[in-house]
Amino acid sequence: MMNTKIAGIGYYVPKRVVTNDELAQHMDTSDEWIQERTGIKERRYAEKHKETTTTMAAHASLRAIEDACINKEDIDFIVFATISPDYYFPGCGVLLQRELGLTDATIGSLDVRNQCSGFIYGLSVADKFIKTGTYKNILLIGAEMHSMGLDFSTRGRGVSVIFGDGAGAVILQPTEDENKGVLTTHLHSDGTYAEELSLISPGCHGGYHDDDMGKYGFVDPEVLGEILVTETMLKDGLLYPYMNGKLVFKNAVVRFSEVIHEALAATGLQKEDIDMLIPHQANLRISQFLQKTLKLEEGKVFNNIQKYGNTTAASIPIALCEAHQEGKIKSGDLVCLAAFGSGFTWGSTLIRW
């Protein structure tokens, strides 16, 4: 059977740099608090009206296409992971297809909604398509425009300071070299804590899943159940993400570690064999914790959350691309990607570069 290799890679981040001090002008926060708790110094925000999740994805895609030395017409399938799509529906896959001018091809496009684990979920699906010979040039993207949907008042400070915008893309191709490319992928989820990192409205739940919607700010039961969006939802800021940061943190450190060990066990490799670990950029403290518990040498864990914040589905491909461009990943290296996020969902992969 064929293996799946990463034949091209590219990323795009918007020009506008937003510092912690700039956020502190809108909400009660500080550069010191944000850096100490998350490691984030700044993030990028897209230019509204001119940029969207799809347009950023298109920039990243064209770079990955060029890097793979193929024509965009060679792409035979698109996998698009995002939680901040341009539209509620249709998904960004078809919008990207149109943006790239690929509508003549009538190729398939799949939208992945697995939050911070979206890129790894997408990679796992694309890997199977390549391995079974279904497709030969899959474009896999993770892209987010969070800045459009964050609460920039003090009410939203626990969430809004974390997230940033950007896009990363890879081209996946078959290789006959069985020692190269994606060696293994592992996906998990547990819906027990689905609402603990979520954006539940607008949605069709009508309050069904939890008797105590008050903890998400839904104090008035009348607000729920009749229509998708109400004026009260707008007024009370219920259309913004909710996060139980401490619970997410505690679960993240356990699941990241578990799923990395699972990938190593599946391939008979040891943690010492990892040349570069690229964790989803959720929080610098989570990455540092992982480095310590896995006893990985300095320089074997790549972090760029300091510059971009948490870009959810885009964080792994952006980091992978930067690490590669900085010469930190060389041919033959063992690269481990791992993610954890809303759902909760988590996953890992090992790639022989």
Q: Is 217 in the site for ligand COA (CB under 6 A)?
A: no
Q: Is 201 in the site for ligand COA (CB under 6 A)?
A: no
The span of 31-39, 41-49, 144-152, 186-194 binding ligand COA (CB under 6 A) equals: 31-39
CB of 246 to ligand COA, least distance (A): 4
- Catalytic residue of the set 59, 146, 186, 280: 280
- Catalytic residue of the set 92, 116, 321, 336: 116
Pick between residue 217 and residue 245 the one whose CB is nearest to ligand COA. Answer: 245
Q: Is 81 in the site for ligand COA (CB under 6 A)?
A: no
Return d(Cα 225, Cα 207) in angstroms, integer: 6
R_g (Cα) of the chain, nearest Å: 20
Query: Could you say which DSSP state residue 51 is in?
Result: -
Query: Is residue 166 left, alpha or beta, with left meaning phi > 0 and alpha meaning psi from -120 to 50?
Result: left
Determine contact, residues 182/335, Cβ cutoff 8 Å: no
Pick between residue 54 and residue 283 the one whose CB is nearest to ligand COA. Answer: 283
Is 283 catalytic? The answer is: no
- Catalytic residue of the set 310, 321, 324, 336: 310
| Residue among 16, 31, 33, 73 that touches ligand COA (CB under 6 A) | 33
Is 310 catalytic? The answer is: yes
Instruction: Find residue 301's DSSP bridge partners.
Output: 277
**Is the preceding peptide bond at 202 cis, omega within 30 degrees of 0?**
yes
What torsion do the CA atoms of 54, 78, 183, 309 make, to the nearest 10 degrees? 10
Q: Is 37 in the site for ligand COA (CB under 6 A)?
A: yes
Nearest to 84 by CA among 244, 258, 191, 239: 239
Distant-in-sequence, close-in-space partners of 153: CB < 8 Å, separation ≥ 6: 26, 27, 237
Return d(Cα 319, Cα 11) in angstroms, integer: 9
Report strand pairing: 166-175 vs 3-12.
antiparallel
CB of 73 to ligand COA, least distance (A): 36
Pick between residue 172 and residue 199 the one whose CB is nearest to ligand COA. Answer: 199
Residue span 1-30 as binding mask against ligand COA, x where in contact by CB under 6 A, dash where not: ----------------------------x-
DSSP percent split of the chain into helix, strand, coil, nearest 5: 40, 25, 35
CB of 83 to ligand COA, least distance (A): 10
Q: Is 248 in the site for ligand COA (CB under 6 A)?
A: yes
3-state secondary structure (DSSP) of residue 272: helix
| Residue among 9, 46, 143, 161 that touches ligand COA (CB under 6 A) | 161
Determine contact, residues 59/184, Cβ cutoff 8 Å: no
Pick between residue 150 and residue 238 the one whose CB is nearest to ligand COA. Answer: 150
Pick between residue 40 and residue 58 the one whose CB is nearest to ligand COA. Answer: 40
Look up tokens 């309050």; give the residue: 207
Q: Is 252 in the site for ligand COA (CB under 6 A)?
A: yes
So which residues are the catalytic ones?
116, 280, 310
Binding positions for ligand COA, rule: CB under 6 A: 29, 33-34, 37-38, 116, 157-158, 161, 245-246, 248-249, 252, 282-283, 310, 341
